[in-house]
Amino acid sequence: MKIIRQMCYNGLTVGGRPCALPEGGTMPELYEAPTLDDALAVLGALAEGYEARGEKTLIFCEDRLTLLAERAVLERVGGTMLTEVTTFARFLSRSRTGTRILSKQGSVMAVSAILSARQSELKYFRRGAAQAVYETLAQLSASRVDEELLLRGADETDGNLRGKLTDLALLLAAYRDFLREEGCTDESGALSLLPEAIARAGLAQTNVVFFAFSSFTRQAREGIEAALDAAKSVRGIFLSGEESLYTHAAANAFRRALRERGAEARSERVEPTLNEDAAWLLGGLFTPERLTGEARPTARVRRFTMIDEEAEFTAVAALIRRHAAEDGLRWRDFAVLVRGEESFPLVKRVFSAYHIPFFADEQRPLSEHPFSGFVLNVLAAAADRALPSEADAVASSVYFGEGDEYRNYLLKYGNYRGAVYRAVKEGAAVKDYDREALCACAERMRAILALFPPRADGAGFSRSVRSLMELVDAARVTEELRAGFAGAERTFLELAPLEEVLDEIASVARDPMPVREFASLLKSGLEAKKVSMIPQSADAVFVGDATESRFARVKVLFATGLDGLPRTSQDTAVISDGEIARLADLEVVIEPAIAEVNARAREGLGLNLCSFSERLYLSCPMRRGRDDCEKGEILRSAEKLFSMPAMPDLFPYDCCERMPAVRGMLARRTLRTERDEKRFAGLAAFLRERGEPVDRLLGGEEKPRVDCRQLYSFGKVSPTLLERYFECPYKSFAERGLRLAERDEVSVKAVDTGTFMHAVLEEVARRIPELPDEDACRALARETGEQQLKTPRFAGLADTEAGSYTGERLIAEGQDVAAALYRQVVLSEFTVSKTEAVVKVPELALEGKTDRIDTSGPYVRIIDYKTGAIDSDPVAYYTGRKLQLELYLKGASEGGIPAGAFYFPAVSEILPQSGAGTRFLMRGFFNADEEVVRRMDRTLTEGASSGLFDYKMDGKSHDGAMSGEELSAFLDYAVLVAAGAEGEMKRGNIAPSPYEGACKYCKFGALCGFRGEERSENKISCGEIVSIVRRAKGEK
């Protein structure tokens, strides 16, 4: 195998040694280039040589490489009519094959329709899996696996694999029948037309080049074989090398295709043009033996960690601004690699704040188009007769028009299903509204919903969507939206792609279907239709997926998010790798397996990391969301491969724009070093000169206070209000003081499920003395549950088949939970004293209602039913976020002895057999004196664990088990912190001071404007809390 140092085609060179351009009819050639830039250089040289001889060139490559390939050709030959860059799909679309090619979204919608129609015959697959099923069918077709092979494999296997193969054989047969009836093929099947298309394309005087494919399917290999017969010459340029990260998949497939035709390729290996550090990195990645030697000193490679993702991208932005200012680099000289598309929104926010032009290498699903969202909301409202949330979603769209007043009217008077079909109220009820405008909105809403009949075929519903476009003047509204955007975002807002989806849905859905099913079908098509966000400016920072993106070498490269890279696909495909291996033994060969996909991903990531000439920055966050991060394999390897210098200073580039400067001020509030003080003073002077309210930004002004006396009903405060206050004073004020809340929905939500369980358990607990056995308990639970389903809150469940199933499931779950409650009472010496009991705490102006109070002689315990997650961690109690149970026990046990404060898991979880006996254990804090625990479980024996609460007889089962004296002191802590909180609230404190996680799903973030560190506590024990109370009381 030769090493190409230079190529000279009729005087045109790249590299180092001269060689003549082979004449037509010579053997095929294979060029193995170590990097994408080297491959592009070879491609440009080949095109230049063919151009000089007046010969045509046809270059096949993957879609993500077309722009790079075209640029490489244009840089060498300029404008040309002799050379063309294309993909297999584009080549087929212009070929006169006589077969219509169905798009991917059309195929997904067709599979969705088949899944719906054949649901009763299928065991494993449902309509929601349309995209995954289609991709599996495409994989089978590309591997030349038909339904007969699948059924043969099913006959020779058993278990889940047999069932899946049987389902897939049925689906594949139905899908192929659909394609035959429609006289079309899909994108995967279109590859089977490639050999014929190449043979008929008149390529006898054309040089065909297959460029930088990552791999070839069996169908694509047949295209290579056809090119050998039809073209003047055939050449392959693929990424390959001696390092362990290369898979050689494409090069090996190319050789295999040649051997099928009895040909051999003349192979030449291209010498890399990497700098020394990039070459060292390339050789060391995924090569453990290279990590034990001496680290290489480098000035090019740096690494850093930041507290979180936002800080990480802020550092990247500051470094880009630094290099641009000090080194005179253009924006196009930078590239930023991220973990995946989920990082793009954060990058956009940070880079926009720093005014850095960039483009993200992404494809957005058409379902994110605003009109797509509007249509899906309309369909949901039409299917459900306009639930309040659905009507509000329709009226809130820009396509509906001005509807805010109508939305407020519906919130006040129409908070029930079908309210939009009622006439607008008259008289005093609407004296504060413009009734004429309300009537116009109501008429528009009814006209919109009337466009969609209860049932229609795909063509009928597509006409309805087009009628909707006319009714709301979607073209005009969309153009007004597009006027506010530029570049790729403006292009994304075009309506033409939606028209394409509607055309295809009319052809794939011939049978009538309910409107809800059409909505699901349309949504699957919109999600499958991806729009490439093509950059409109050549001078911009490239932001791409570290594994999937492809880009030319840049001067400065940032690789971020290296706590989770290399990213690997989990073996959760429709057919797993293990099952693929079993099928291979039966001569049913399916390509590729997940292991092969992961190997290609590692190759892509490794080559991307080496695509720099001057600087490489490797980074990862220390925290992602609420989870701590660790350095990934790439970062750990780099630290062993290189001896890296310190990071350059980010200041002043991390505050070179207004918003970063303000954040910098806030971040430097707590001064630690003289350097910090100088930075702080400089920033403060700069911002004051600009007129910024520095003192207010830094919290120097008095904290916001209001008269909160109206928060308390009759001078009393509830434990829930206290807990909300400790979570965040501002959030508590917004929820409990201003009574701000989201619009209610007439549907069964998690809170409604909790209401159902509480009602069942309250009735069962109250009547336990009347119940002779557990069967009687279950019967009472069913009777109570059936009565609950007839109440207005749950009556809507009976309207649909799915709702009826949910109702029956609620009853069954209620029976299981009630039976567990029954056992916990009858197997103890405690009896139910009160249910839904009002409890007062004398030391505080506090009262509330608890689910249940049990007593046994002088001992008292409190039970709280929980249908959600149970947090019995002492940290939640210590920080004031979970005080309710303890305060209730303190009040309820006045004059008695506290036995315990327990959460009862009022939900029938699906647990493995090993955990089935613990699903209903009560959890909390309790008196672990032997007399008390034997009263709480009469079946306890020495060394055994209780089946009723979380306790083991041979000692403390966990931190929440305390002596009687310790439990009393533990409860006093709730009184101490509650009294302090009451005082602060009455004095009007509403300052934003969130506990960790409070901001994550907070609905009031836009109101408070909090920008800072959340409060948090790592760990504390019940014993430490007891010690705090004793010290406060002056005890030892």
- Does 652 sit behind a cis peptide bond, omega within 30 degrees of 0 on the bond before it? yes
Q: How far apart are CA 248 and CA 238, in angstroms?
A: 8
pLDDT 10s digits, 149-167: 888 877 877 777 788 888 8
Q: Where are the beta strands (DSSP E) in 248-317?
A: 266-270, 296-297, 301-308
- Of the candidates 563, 24, 612, the one whose C-alpha atom is nearest the C-alpha of residue 273 is 612
User: Please, what is the angle between helix 159-182 and helix 577-585, to 10°?
Assistant: 80
What are residue 443's DSSP bridge partners?
none
Assign 377 a pLDDT band (cuts: 50, 70, 90).
very high
The CA–CA distances, whole Å, from 713 to 281, 472, 883 equal 68, 48, 19
Residue range 2-97+192-273 forms a domain whose CATH class is: alpha beta
Query: Would you state the structure tokens that stand for residue 658, as one six-digit string?
Result: 């207004």
Residue 104 has pLDDT above 90, yes or no: no
b/e 752-791 (16+ beta carbons within 10 angstroms → b): ebbbbbbbbbbbbbeebeebeeeeebbebbbebbeebbee
What are residue 301's DSSP bridge partners?
616
pLDDT, mean of residues 734-742: 71
Residue 930 has pLDDT above 70, yes or no: yes
b/e 818-833 (16+ beta carbons within 10 angstroms → b): bbbbbbbbbbbbbebe
Per-residue pLDDT, 577: 47
Pair 35, 271: CB distance under 8 Å:
no
HEC letters along 503-553: HHHHHHCCCCEEHHHHHHHHHHHHHHCEEECCCCCCCCEEEEECCCCCCCC
pTM as predicted:
0.61
Per-residue pLDDT, 818: 92
CA 861, 862, 866, 871: dihedral to nearest 10 degrees? -80
Phi, psi of 850 (to 5 degrees): -110, 155
Pair 694, 685: CB distance under 8 Å:
no
b/e 703-726 (16+ beta carbons within 10 angstroms → b): eeeeebeebbeeeebbbebbbbbb
Assign 194 a pLDDT band (cuts: 50, 70, 90).
confident
pLDDT, mean of residues 80-88: 91
Most confident of 329-338, 641-650, 782-791: 329-338
Phi, psi of 1018 (to 5 degrees): -80, -50
Assign 18 a pLDDT band (cuts: 50, 70, 90).
very low
Least confident stretch, 87-101, 267-281, 418-432, 608-622: 87-101
Query: Would you state the structure tokens that stand for residue 363, as one six-digit string?
Result: 């494809």
Q: How far apart are CA 310 and CA 667, in angstroms?
A: 13
- Of the candidates 83, 25, 86, 29, the one whose C-alpha atom is nearest the C-alpha of residue 56 is 83
Residue 176 has pLDDT above 60, yes or no: yes
Helices (H), 22-158: 36-52, 66-77, 88-94, 104-117, 130-142, 147-155
Q: How far apart are CA 933 and CA 940, in angstroms?
A: 8
Which residues, in sequence order, are CB contacts of 382 under 8 Å at separation 6+?
A: 449, 452, 515
Residue 651 has pLDDT above 70, yes or no: yes
Per-residue pLDDT, 844: 77
Question: Of residues 114 and 55, which shows the higher confidence score?
Answer: 55
Q: How far apart are CA 684 and CA 669, in angstroms?
A: 11
Residue 187 has pLDDT above 60, yes or no: yes
Pair 926, 861: CB distance under 8 Å:
yes
- Of the candidates 971, 969, 947, 974, the one whose C-alpha atom is nearest the C-alpha of residue 883 is 974
Assign 620 a pLDDT band (cuts: 50, 70, 90).
very high
Long-range contacts for 786-792 (Cβ within 8 Å, ≥24 apart)? 786/811, 788/756, 788/759, 788/760
**Cβ atoms within 10 A of the Cβ of 480, count?**
11
Query: Would you state the structure tokens that stand for residue 652, as one six-digit string?
Result: 């002043």
pLDDT, mean of residues 616-622: 94
Average model confidence (pLDDT) across the chain: 82
b/e 898-917 (16+ beta carbons within 10 angstroms → b): bbbbbbbbbbbeeeeeeeee
What are residue 900's DSSP bridge partners?
861, 926
Per-residue pLDDT, 38: 95
pLDDT 10s digits, 805-835: 888 888 988 999 999 999 999 999 999 999 9
Q: How far apart are CA 749 and CA 747, in angstroms?
A: 6
Least confident stretch, 268-282, 612-626, 939-953: 939-953
Assign 588 a pLDDT band (cuts: 50, 70, 90).
low
The CA–CA distances, whole Å, from 324 to 144, 328, 346, 611, 676 equal 52, 5, 21, 19, 25
Of all residues in the chain, what percent carry a pLDDT higher than 70? 85
Per-residue pLDDT, 68: 93
Residue 702 has pLDDT above 60, yes or no: no
Pair 870, 740: CB distance under 8 Å:
no
Assign 118 a pLDDT band (cuts: 50, 70, 90).
confident
pLDDT 10s digits, 746-759: 444 444 678 888 89
Residue 700 has pLDDT above 70, yes or no: no
Assign 666 a pLDDT band (cuts: 50, 70, 90).
low
Q: How far apart are CA 6 and CA 428, in angstroms?
A: 89
Tell me the pairing of strands 541-545 and 554-559.
unpaired
Least confident stretch, 115-129, 148-162, 523-537, 668-682: 668-682
Per-residue pLDDT, 957: 59
Least confident stretch, 206-210, 518-522, 701-705, 978-982: 701-705
Per-residue pLDDT, 25: 47
Least confident stretch, 58-62, 292-296, 515-519, 591-595: 591-595
Residue 710 has pLDDT above 70, yes or no: no
Residue 213 has pLDDT above 50, yes or no: yes
Residue 365 has pLDDT above 50, yes or no: yes
Amino acid symbol at 421: Y
Match 């597509």 to its residue by tokens. Answer: 462
HEC letters along 697-747: HCCCCCCCECCHHHHCECCEECHHHHHHHHHCHHHHHHHHHCCCCCCCCCC
Query: Would you state the structure tokens that stand for residue 172, as one six-digit string?
Result: 């594949």
Assign 712 a pLDDT band (cuts: 50, 70, 90).
very low
Query: Yes or no: is domain 282-362+537-574+585-650 CATH 3.40.630.30?
Result: no
Pair 1022, 960: CB distance under 8 Å:
yes
**Length of the chain, in residues:** 1036
pLDDT, mean of residues 383-405: 91
Question: Of residues 701 and 902, which shows the higher confidence score?
Answer: 902
pLDDT, mean of residues 763-772: 89
DSSP H or E run through 1001 = none
Per-residue pLDDT, 980: 84
Assign 690 a pLDDT band (cuts: 50, 70, 90).
low
Least confident stretch, 403-407, 571-575, 789-793: 571-575
Longest dimension (CA), the chain: 105
Phi, psi of 1033 (to 5 degrees): -90, 0
Query: Would you state the structure tokens that stand for residue 618, as one six-digit string?
Result: 């490797």
Assign 227 a pLDDT band (cuts: 50, 70, 90).
very high
What are residue 544's DSSP bridge partners?
337
pLDDT 10s digits, 836-866: 888 888 777 778 889 999 999 899 999 999 8
DSSP H or E run through 486 = none
Match 């664990």 to its residue by tokens. Answer: 945
Question: Of residues 59 and 674, which shows the higher confidence score?
Answer: 59
Question: Of residues 346 and 733, which shows the higher confidence score?
Answer: 346
- Of the candidates 560, 455, 469, the one whose C-alpha atom is nearest the C-alpha of residue 518 is 455
Distance of CA 1003 to the CA centre of its chain: 20
Of all residues in the chain, what percent carry a pLDDT higher than 90? 36
CA 179, 182, 184, 188: dihedral to nearest 10 degrees? -30
Most confident of 16-25, 128-137, 586-595: 128-137
Which residues, in sequence order, are CB contacts of 484 under 8 Å at separation 6+?
A: none
Q: What is the SS3 assignment for 274?
A: coil
Match 């009217």 to its residue by tokens. Answer: 409
